[in-house]
Amino acid sequence: MLRRTAPRAALVLVSLLTPALASCGSPQTAADRETRYTRVIEDETPRARDVIDVAGAPYKALRSDDGSMLLRYNATSVEDDEGPAANAWRLYGPDGGIVAEHAEHMVAEDETDDPGPFYAVPDGFVFLPSVKDGFFLDVRGERHAVRSSKKSLAFGRGDVLVDGRKKLLRTSTHTVAPATGVPTTRDLTFTDFDERGTAWGVRQPEGSEPYRVTRREDGRPQRSQELPDRLLGEDIDAHGGTAAVPLEKPIGRDDTLFTGLFVTTDDGKSWRTLRNSDRLPLNEFKPGLSEIEVRVLDDGRVLVEGDDATPLVADTPANRSFHKITEPADLISVFPLGNTLYGIADSDFPSYDHIDGEGLWRSQDGGRGWNRFPGEGD
């Protein structure tokens, strides 16, 4: 998920009270907010609602097949990268109601206190920390043990690679096991695996050979296509037979310019190059951006995001024309879950205060209209 770092002019359609003000009967002073924030991160047994309130916006959002959402929040020291911190998660049902929540005290920069990642699975969420036991959290908020197997499992449809691609999570059975059948990444960079277990990657060659995008199934090369005009490709995403690569042109010694997209909608049988135009407006994507990221929605539409630029999303699954989203607040990231776009509005760095509209937003019409999640004033 990209984190854009410079403010832009946002099209703010609704002015909302910040969570800190909405939860109190009268406005808080800066000293009040600092005192409360410090008290929460120093509490060795913090309450989830307090951590969520002072954090203001989630840093991660996941969704299961029934529409349940898991949001994660983090509050760290504002003045220092180290020191006390607090992490929390909250599970929402498909109707937006709170199902379960949890918080824990941490020490920032202490790897042994890292809460670890959650992964979305069809019937809930799996928590797999590296230093303590994980669990499966079902959509009712109940925890169950995660199965572990020493027998290697072949990577396939629905699996998720974990632990640096050494293991896989079989989402259908909540089983973690050593992974086999995973295509080597020695000559593939920026690799992505679609929901069927097919591997897509961009091969960065040695010498003067051009970059190539490849499609592999069961660890065997299936299709390979040269990127056009000797351009670079440093990201790829795929879903349901659609894949997209942002094309970049070297400029000078270190910078690159985002010039277009390389797209297939027929599982790699044919590819189309889209250039900067009225159909794909790339004028905000300036040279020297640190990262360009593409994501494919479930229906095949491509989302394009880059630092300091308004995200673009395709008008249809044909991916022949794109439009800029309309931002409801200053979004630091935009990402799809299914066919819904989500955006996180937050400050660029930890802060005692909240920005206007801080929190999670969602759009079901391609980023043209947005509403707060889980709801106005919640």
Q: What is the pLDDT of residues 129-164, one digit of tens each?
A: 876 789 999 999 999 999 999 999 988 888 988 887
Q: Torsion angle, CA of 273/278/281/287, rounded to 10 degrees?
A: 80
166 close to 152: Cβ distance less than 8 angstroms:
no
Four-way CATH pick for 183-324: 2.60.120.260, 3.40.190.10, 3.20.20.140, 2.130.10.10: 2.130.10.10
193 close to 217: Cβ distance less than 8 angstroms:
no
200 close to 183: Cβ distance less than 8 angstroms:
no
Verdict on whether the full-model pTM lies above 0.75: yes
CA distance 107 to 13: 38
E strand segments, 29-93: 60-63, 69-76, 83-92
CA distance 82 to 350: 12
* Mean pLDDT on 112-125: 86
Q: Please, what is the average pLDDT of the chain?
A: 86
Report pLDDT for 156.
84
Say what percent of the chain tops pLDDT 70: 86
Q: Torsion angle, CA of 319/321/325/326, rounded to 10 degrees?
A: -150
CA distance 334 to 346: 12
Report pLDDT for 131.
64
Q: Which of 350, 347, 353 is nearest to 81 (CA)?
A: 350
